[in-house]
Structure 1
């Protein structure tokens, strides 16, 4: 079985990255994590990836004169790893259209809501403010519109009485760690694709 080469983009602790790394340890998993790139040098997930023997890089957008140059450099790093697929795992930057189109159909993201509800940030607080009874997470293809790409997999969690954004987030995160490796495997096996 030829495994797809996958790079992960993070900005923080990389808990979803860790879930993908763990899944890829299974001999029958159709992907291998070949590199982890962060836009923050202090991201905790970089040390986790290094400890697993995975290549890492950090690039601060502030050091580049333009977003285009920053994203061109990101692509150069990803291609130096011969990445075939890019997974966004808490990468807290809006990506430009050229970068997104370069990786069209080969870049996926995990988002903490049941898309199309609650695109963008603060999803758990917004769900609670709306009195939602069900919340969850989505893995979707990345397209130029924010959190607008076609959904690959979703998981629901009930909103409980007394929930705070933190308690709700913790339950959603468990589901994120479950469905992200599943969705990546589906993409690697060709079971889902983005029609562009």
Structure 2
């Protein structure tokens, strides 16, 4: 009696670009893949660490929910680190993770890729359907400027993020449009003598 290589369970669905991206690199890879895809289509423009809406309008029928989310956020937020963080934590990526958990590609507790998930990822990579950056991240990008932008586009977590936010709030030059702010001159008193 022949045995099947996979235990019986829910029917396996076909994985799309963003399912594969999640298996390869988690929510962050999903967000990066959406940014690269939209940039390549002209839906958004990337300049330095900023992203802005591009010249090509978003077609509702042919756009993935993750792409739609990023395109809509791009109209409000332009910092790539913030955009990627919002998309990574968004409901669209949470849904991808839940679907991958339900079909056995991710563990339920720590969301790690299972043997089935690794096998499906390897099969997708062997087919050669998706771009290399989906599997390998920014290191596979030919556009080195974009690769550097993505590598540098990370928000510090926890305390680091809170301190960065406080620093921007206390910075007199952050968001200032002129010199009408208070004078923040130094009162000295710093130096110390040495022997």
Which one has the largest radius of gyration? 2
Relative to total residues, which structure has the larger helix share, 1 or 2?
2
Q: TM-score, normalised by structure 1?
A: 0.27
Q: TM-score, normalised by structure 2?
A: 0.27
Relative to total residues, which structure has the larger strand share, 1 or 2?
1
